[in-house]
Structure 1
Amino acid sequence: MPLNFVLYNKVPQGDELEALLGATAIFFCSRRGEGHPQLEELQEDSFKIILGAASAQGIETQEAFDTWFVQQRLNDPDYFLPRLNQRLEEIVGDGWLFERSQVSVGE
């Protein structure tokens, strides 16, 4: 995976954060990726993240994946974006390098 997956590479396999990062990557590709010259590659990498998270949790079939994806609420950005933010805050604490209030995931 490319260098921009440094955070992902530090996440323990099977950790909830792995699935949250994958769902967020898929979300950003779909919402902000149009016209990006590497969109296809970014989408593939995003799906690899989410498939890796599912695999680490024992998900082996498409049917099981579909059920898991919905049960984990990875299809709901109103859930997974705040949850990702919460998990990142737990990790980073007060050590952010930028003013977080200036960053928005809205369109």
Structure 2
Amino acid sequence: MSENLVELKGGKEASERAELMQHLAQQLHTLNELPDDAQLERMRLQLDVAESLIALERKLEAWALARSAFDVALRHDAWKDAVEACDVLYQCEQPGSVAALGMGVWLAVSFPVDPELTLAMLMHIVEETPDNSDGAALAAVAARYVIDLRAEEASYESLSFLANALIGRVAERHSKVRDQAALDQWMNKLQLRDPAIFLPRLSKVVNIIVGDTWWFDRDALRNKFN
């Protein structure tokens, strides 16, 4: 790379960082102006600020904000916001980030969360699991199941396409599956067609991911809606 190109690249990066810093300053000003009783609005802005901090590689600061936002979302039964907080926490790349991902997946599958967000969380599970792990297969087929249940007509086709592509990619890396007949055989072998079978298995995978660091009582949350 020539010196001129290096200078141009460095200048662009500096300009982008300056824009990010300016945007962050505006966000923080708005956050500070919010009244204390605007808890949900404050929580959502905290997540926006956390994403800006991640872009600036200030991930520890982002973690603190997103973790606080998660607690507020959970207290208000704001499931989508709680899952988005877990997504931000996962991006923070801190010691608890993978556990946060697991908790976000549990909430996204258990409660009526936006299927596009649920798909994104389950795709993270695929990224975190080894190629030969059944966990990725369970995540991929659960994504398709959630889309079938929750997606609105306008987004169903595009989300289904993404979920089917995810299943195909997982099958290929897991067992070198490359055609429909092999895919059918693979799904039958791994018992990926019955949600009464694959959802409890996915729950076990999530339990392994989170370990003993759950931030909430799952039974208490379930009982609130029984």
User: Is this a same-fold pair by TM over 0.5?
Assistant: yes
Pairing 1:90–2:186 present: no
TM-score (norm 1): 0.80
Question: Offset of 1:51 from its aligned partner?
Answer: 0.6
TM norm structure 2: 0.41
Aligned residues: 102
Aligned 8 A contact 2:140 2:163 in 1: yes
For residue 158 of structure 2, what is the aligned residue in structure 1? Answer: 41
2:97 pairs with 1:11: no
2:170 is equivalent to residue 53 of structure 1? yes
Aligned-pair CA distance for 1:37:
4.3
Q: Distance in 2 between matches of 1:37 and 1:96?
A: 35
Given the alignment of the two structures, is residue 72 of structure 1 paired with residue 190 of structure 2, yes or no?
Answer: yes
> Highest Rg: 1 or 2?
2
Gaps of 5+ in 1: none
Instruction: Choose between structure 1 and 2: higher helix proportion.
Output: 2
Shift of 1:59: 1.1
Q: Counterparts of 1:11-30 in structure 2 under 5 Å?
A: 11-30=129-148
Note the C-alpha offset of 1:48. 1.7
Cα RMSD after superposing both structures: 2.2
Counterpart residue type for residue 207 of structure 2: E
Structure 2 gap ranges (5+): 1-118
Residues in 1 aligned to 2:212 and 2:197: alpha-carbon distance in whole angstroms: 23
Cα pair 1:21 1:49 within 8 Å, conserved: no
Distance in 2 (alpha carbons) for counterparts of 1:37 and 1:103: 30
